[in-house]
Amino acid sequence: PSVPSRHGAVKAEDTFKTSPFHLDLWFYFTLQNWVLDFGRPIAMIILPLEWFPLNKPSAGDYFHMAYNVITPFLLLKLIERSPKTLPRSMVYVSIITFVMGASIHLVGDSVNHRLIFSGYQHHLSVRENPIIRNLKPETLIDSFELLYYYDEYLGHSMWYIPFFLILFIYFTGCFTPVVEQSRMPVAALLLMGPSSLYYWYLVTEGQIFILYIFTFFAMMALVMHQKRKGLVLDSNGLFLFYSFIIALLLIAGWVAWLWNDKILRKKYPGVIYIPEPWAFYTLHMNNLHAAKEAF
**What tens-digit pLDDT sequence spans the chain (295 residues)?**
444 444 544 444 455 555 689 999 999 999 999 999 988 888 877 887 788 888 888 888 999 999 999 999 999 999 999 888 888 899 999 999 999 999 999 988 888 877 877 778 776 778 888 888 878 887 888 888 888 888 888 988 999 999 999 999 999 999 988 777 778 999 999 999 999 999 999 999 888 999 999 999 999 999 999 999 999 999 999 999 999 999 999 999 999 999 988 888 888 887 889 988 888 887 776 654 444 444 4
Can you give the residue range of the structural domain that contains 153?
23-259
Helix, strand and coil in the chain, % to nearest 5? 70, 0, 30
Distance CA 176, CA 178 (A): 5
Q: Is residue 290 part of a domain?
A: no
Cβ–Cβ < 8 Å for 194, 38: no
Report the SS3 class of residue 38: helix
Q: Is residue 267 part of a domain?
A: no
Give the pLDDT of residue 190.
95
pLDDT in tens, 224-266: 999 999 999 999 999 999 999 999 999 999 999 999 888 888 8
Q: Report if residue 16 sits inside a domain.
A: no
Q: Considering the domain boundaries, does residue 138 fall inside one?
A: yes
- In a domain, residue 291? The reply is no
Number of folded domains that form the chain: 1
Question: For residue 295, what pLDDT is reported?
Answer: 40
Within a domain: 232: yes
- Rounded distance between C-alpha atoms, residue 187 and residue 56, angstroms: 41
Q: What is the dihedral of CA 245, 251, 252, 258, to 10 degrees?
A: 170
Separation between Cα atoms, residue 105 and residue 99, nearest integer Å: 10
Supply the DSSP symbol for 58. Answer: -
Residues 6+ apart with CB under 8 A from 30: 191, 194, 195, 198
* 105 domain-assigned: yes
* Residues 164/235, Cβ–Cβ less than 8 Å: no
